[in-house]
């Protein structure tokens, strides 16, 4: 019916929809929360989808996306810490 890559895309789309719905229900629509929760879902899906014994070719391309996501996450964390300390960017 669906290929494995299509299932992953649909699972991630469902994850994003659930995140948006929950953030809307709790009236916490914020791009930082949304990004962090999407990154967590993406990391979980990548880890659960890959084989444990071998490293597929697509994994190196996904690692680039993960690295960019972690850079953005670290920027968000640094911004929050500076806001708490009262130092503006």
Quickly count: other Cβ atoms within 10 Å of residue 39's Cβ. 17
| pLDDT greater than 70 at residue 41 | yes
What is residue 53's predicted lDDT score, i.e. its pLDDT? Answer: 74
Whole-prediction pTM: 0.84
| pLDDT greater than 90 at residue 37 | yes
| pLDDT greater than 90 at residue 25 | yes
The mean predicted confidence, pLDDT, of the chain is 90
pLDDT band at residue 76 under the 50/70/90 scheme: very high
């Amino acid at each position: 019916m669906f290929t494995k890559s299509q299932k992953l895309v649909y699972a991630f789309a469902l994850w994003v929809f659930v995140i948006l719905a929950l953030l809307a229900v709790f009236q916490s629509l914020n791009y930082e929360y949304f990004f962090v929760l999407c990154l967590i879902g993406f990391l979980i899906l990548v880890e659960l989808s890959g084989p444990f014994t071998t490293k597929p070719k697509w994994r190196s391309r996904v690692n680039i996306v993960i690295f960019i996501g972690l850079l953005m996450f670290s920027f968000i964390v640094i911004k929050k810490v500076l806001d708490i300390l009262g130092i503006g960017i």
